Amino acid sequence: MATDRRTAILEGAARVIARRGVRGLRVEELAAEAGVSTALIYYHFKDRAGILRHTLEFIGDRAERYTAEEEGTTGPFAPHQVLERSLLLEFQDRPEVRENSTAWGELRASAVFDPELRADLARAGLAWVHEVAALLGEACPSVPAPTLTAAAERLTALLEGLSTRWLSGALTLTHARELMREAISVELGHLERR
């Protein structure tokens, strides 16, 4: 029950951030959105920084779920296919994905102005880079780790850049996916030729 309400608060926070931005997040509004009292929010998350930190984690877990959930369907897949699916699943016209990407982009953009968010965001970003580097390593087993990490940093930073362009209507979903797919193939080609 406590867990349900905690989850409801975090779902509400992701929704509010995706709708109005981090700077539009007021605890009163979040309470109304989640159908709980502000006291319960403070009890679970201490303060606004705590809400943002846990929302970040919640968004990360949810992304991991929807980028992994299709993996079992028709596999087994070659390593480069697993990598491609995992990155391309961030570009989907599903409300959950759109909301998640919007909230992540917003948290990333807000960290420019809000030093409190930075450490958590950097940690979450690093975990993601290492995950992508591991998938690259499965596709290209002989490549040294620092080279894989650099390629993963480029692919994830590109994904964030493309995602913001997609969500702000500067790129269509189809074209964003196409550019991402080509980038993966260009980076893999580069790693294989080393």
In whole angstroms, the minimum distance from the beta carbon of 116 to its own copies comes to 11
Q: Does 118 bind its own copies (CB under 8 A)?
A: yes
Q: Does 122 bind its own copies (CB under 8 A)?
A: yes
Candidates 188, 26, 176; CA nearest to 101 is 176
Q: Answer whether 116's CB lies under 8 Å from 53's CB.
A: no
**Side-chain-side CA neighbours of residue 88 (13 Å):** 19
- Count interface residues toward its own copies (CB under 8 A): 44
Residue 86 vs 164, nearer CB to its own copies: 164
Q: Does 145 bind its own copies (CB under 8 A)?
A: no
- Single out the residue of 27, 88, 143, 183 in contact with its own copies (rule: CB under 8 A): 183
| 171: helix, strand or coil | coil
Q: Answer whether 51's CB lies under 8 Å from 34's CB.
A: no
In whole angstroms, the minimum distance from the beta carbon of 6 to its own copies comes to 27
For 114, phi then psi, to 5°, come to -125, 90
Q: Answer whether 60's CB lies under 8 Å from 157's CB.
A: no
> Which spans of this chain sit near its own copies (rule: CB under 8 A)?
20-21, 23-24, 102, 105-106, 108-113, 115, 117-118, 121-122, 125, 150, 153-154, 156-162, 164-165, 167-171, 178-179, 182-183, 186-187, 189-190
